[in-house]
Amino acid sequence: MTLYPLKFTPIIKDYLWGGSRLKEVLHKEVSTDTAAESWEVSGVDDNVSIVKEGSLKGKDLRWLIQHFKGDLLGHRVYKKFGNDFPVLVKFIDAERDLSVQLHPNDELAKKRHNSFGKTEMWYIMQAEADARLIIGFNKNLTPEEFKSRLKEGSLMQLLNCEKVVPGDTFYIHTGRVHAIGSGILLAEIQQTSNITYRIFDYNRKDKDGNTRESHTELAMEAIDYSCEDDFRIAYDQDPDRVNQMVDCPYFITNYLHITRPLQMEVSQRDSFHIYICTEGEAVFVTSSGRYPLSMGETLLVPACIGAFEIRGTEAKFLEVHL
């Protein structure tokens, strides 16, 4: 079997805060009235992505890594991560506010959950007027003050809110409290992890009348109590070139605005590439064929495909690699 650019069947997740945009805007196959997340490329246990089309249809990502190794991931990446796929890509539709939460770092996640930590980034695709995110605190805190304010119900007064518009990009390191606000559709790139510590959920109940579990005690050791404003990412948006957005130890994300055919030579990176279409449509042309990609779709280009062309007249992508 020969590798080619791969699309995977989205893994749809529904939570009490999900909406209708994954179905109505991104054209996902959703069987429920609402949907919260579409996992586009995942190596998370029990949620491993399955190839959607082509000669490898039906094979899962773990099988692909075991059989193709460095040809799929990049030899440098395979040497570091082995059979573990290092990133998770999602679309998230927040019809209602998400809980205030955070994620542990690599060391704590390994110790407690035998997992990677969860550093992540968000790219805002759509946002209603006055839509906001919660990111970090608005003052430096001590663990004692945090716990006291949480207990007395005044934690929200300490949280930093950021108004958002489409194109805004945010980097959330482990330990930073955060929440996606209502009225936002975004793309998320993160480490491969499903470990979340929920600290506040607005005292709301699910459809069965139950409040959701909180993880305050687990969170206490993981929280970054400092007040920092380094989360909003400024980046160039020049057309028909690679514009760097985030370069961190866990992933590199670039912004591409395609207005004409663009030749891509990426072999020197020795890495897989994921292309997330956030607007418009284009065709990826390789020696093995043509692979169209539209808004709301994601394509994994194996590392062994070091050169290809992107053909489109008005399309926007996030490019992810290691």
Which position among 112, 198, 232, 290 bears the catalytic label? 198
The dihedrals phi and psi of 217, each to the nearest 5 degrees, come to -65, -40
Residue 178 in marked binding region: yes
43-44 and 37-41 strand pairing: unpaired
Residue 313 and residue 253: Cα distance in Å, rounded? 22
37-41 and 11-13 strand pairing: antiparallel
CB-CB contact of 276 with 187 (8 Å): yes
Q: Is 198 a catalytic residue?
A: yes
Residue 112 and residue 103: Cα distance in Å, rounded? 12
Instruction: Tabulate helix, strand, coil % of the chain (nearest 5).
Output: 15, 40, 45
Q: How far is CA 165 from the centre of its chain?
A: 18
Residue type for position 306 = G
Q: How far is CA 241 from the centre of its chain?
A: 22
Helices (H), 33-132: 61-68, 70-73, 75-81, 106-113
Among residues 91, 202, 217, 89, the alpha carbon closest in space to that of 147 is found at 217
CB atoms inside a 10 Å sphere around CB 43: 20
Q: List, in order, residues 6 or more apart from 152 with CB less than 8 Å away.
A: none
CB-CB contact of 214 with 231 (8 Å): no
Q: Which helix H or strand E contains 111, and what residues bound it?
A: helix 106-113
CB-CB contact of 192 with 116 (8 Å): yes
List residues with catalytic annotation.
198
Q: Which parts are annotated binding residues?
A: 103, 120, 178
Q: Which parts are annotated binding residues for Zn(2+)?
A: 103, 120, 178
